[in-house]
Structure 1
């Protein structure tokens, strides 16, 4: 019999977590743009190493492993990767500014292509039956994650990445950091040729009152708020699922993945509405690479492919690969039709969720 008090407490925790999440996402977006402007580092790279790092998802996976709920973990990983594309990236496209056309620079295209290749590799390994060689396959995925982080750090150090956007100075002094960054959003210009580090060592003039360490500290505060809210949301959802008796894989693919990717959805809506395509792409690409390499790699190594119950099926894996391919095509060729593409992706996600309950199903 369901524990009504526990369900009520979990629902209340879920609602409180949403307020903390909104605060964290807002601070993260604003101060990421400021740090990117002040340092010359592309905001897409800052996003890859912060919002694109799914630490809350890793925490959920570790907890699931310790509690011997590995079917829930694999469902959450695959479901979250699908939700990041069809449920989060799509929202960023839908909520973009009407008067501006989204432009994805070379860095964004390279990141999405890398995500597609990683997704294809995971699908191939899954089809090859990871239960026999899951420890080896998991080690390969973890090694890819280390290589990915190292390559991003190397490109930052060498200055080979180009900034997806250059935020120009506002015409007048702002009264606060938030007002200043919003003015900069209004006057931002797309510039795909601006180098990561100026060759003469000079950085753009800034009108912000506070120093870079201050903005980095607020950025990290927002990021920590996102992590905290994600932990609360995932745990509250988990308790609700336990009391309702839903299949672990189904719950992981649908409910838990939606809860743990709420930060990505908030960030996608905010970055899309402010035309911050660098953060929008990095938010999705970085999250999925993190999920499909480090999180899935740790799960495969620790379980040796022996889940406590069911696992994801060919339809769910196919949706993951198809959505990754569609996102890559949008970033490479479909920026002009980005809002229409977002609507199509969002409708596809709703259809997928309906099919999970009516056709795909899990015992």
Structure 2
């Protein structure tokens, strides 16, 4: 093993994570502001930013372009499991209010379970191809339309922003009445920030930063995919296992932070909506992109996924739905978190293939 190469690729991977997080924040924040300036529906903005795993989508596309589809698929499945067993469990552990989840949370959890079941069935019967990939992408589009209509009719509440709630129309951290800076208060969370005393920044400023965020996402995706593949080769791990564990854990760190903060504030609905929205995004749009690109043609060859991963994806969704309907508890959070630790351990030992 070339330790110098391994250390260099590891450092590059860590740097890529920071660039990825920066790009995601910039992209989401300024997308919201540009959307408001252009008078786009707030509901549509919420749906396109809440739970949107743009980090994973970026890594998926970069991995496909580098002909490392197993890495892309492993990242998607790992992030799906991590969002529930890793992030949602932390939200439950910090959710001390004991207030039951509302109807909107239950709707989102059932939608996630149905979509997860569809994905697992397609994967198990080796039916993930360009046609079904196109169907999954169409399902994501229908999900956006139907959820937006349900919110419009008052059947469901809009999901909250996921990766960042910093969408102030101006720069700087100006204290508000609740002692939080303006940049930490999001109108999508139903709070009204005090207006910034300085002049609002121009639309061109926000469009520029939106483009910067998009470029940072694209660059970081390439860096992560390339360095991750090199690290996996050095450690003699398959692309799938590395994507399922290290990349998935790293790229879902923002969701874990949001879950912890939302749980501490007793906002269980945010934890549920973020988790469900993220996983629906992953299992429809991201998996659809991999399938349409032809990356799943040899999915049964042992380097993509095995029954264990599919089982964990589905069981995680079942556990998530069960907790939402039964109500939050720290005991359930401990069980889910323990399940995630066991999953990671098995992936890097028994299933390292």
Q: TM-score, normalised by structure 1?
A: 0.72
Match of 1:341 in 2: 332
CA distance change for structure 1 residues 205 and 26 in 2, over 3 Å: closer, same or farther?
A: closer
1:62 is displaced (CA, Å) by 1.6
Match of 2:98 in 1: 101
Correspondences of 1:208-223 after superposition (within 5 Å) = 208-209=195-196
Q: Distance in 1 between matches of 2:320 and 2:42?
A: 21
CA distance change for structure 1 residues 144 and 282 in 2, over 3 Å: closer, same or farther?
A: same
Does structure 2 conserve the Cα–Cα contact (< 8 Å) formed by 1:7 and 1:243? yes
Match of 1:128 in 2: 125
Partner SS state of residue 303, structure 1: coil
1:252 is displaced (CA, Å) by 1.7
Does structure 1 conserve the Cα–Cα contact (< 8 Å) formed by 2:27 and 2:214? no
**Structure 1 unmatched runs, 5+:** 33-38, 166-175, 186-195, 197-202
Match of 2:310 in 1: 317
RMSD: 4.2
Match of 1:298 in 2: 289
Q: Distance in 2 between matches of 1:12 and 1:106?
A: 44
Does structure 1 conserve the Cα–Cα contact (< 8 Å) formed by 2:228 and 2:242? no
1:293 is displaced (CA, Å) by 0.5
Q: Which moved more, 1:249-258 or 1:236-245?
A: 236-245
CA distance change for structure 1 residues 52 and 161 in 2, over 3 Å: closer, same or farther?
A: same
Match of 1:58 in 2: 57
**Partner residue of 1:271 out of 252, 258, 262:** 262
Note if 1:82 corresponds to 2:73: no
**1:194-246: CA deviation from partner (whole Å, max 9, x where unpaired):** xx9xxxxxx987645469x87x9699799879958974656544442233231
Match of 1:145 in 2: 140
Q: Distance in 1 between matches of 2:268 and 2:174?
A: 19
Note if 1:329 corresponds to 2:328: no
Give the count of matched residue pairs.
324
CA distance change for structure 1 residues 66 and 15 in 2, over 3 Å: closer, same or farther?
A: closer
Match of 1:71 in 2: 70
Q: Distance in 2 between matches of 1:163 and 1:356?
A: 36
CA distance change for structure 1 residues 14 and 152 in 2, over 3 Å: closer, same or farther?
A: same
Q: TM-score, normalised by structure 2?
A: 0.74
Does structure 2 conserve the Cα–Cα contact (< 8 Å) formed by 1:233 and 1:259? no
**1:228-267: CA deviation from partner (whole Å, max 9, x where unpaired):** 8974656544442233231122112112211222222222
Q: Distance in 2 between matches of 1:311 and 1:30?
A: 34
1:294 is displaced (CA, Å) by 0.9
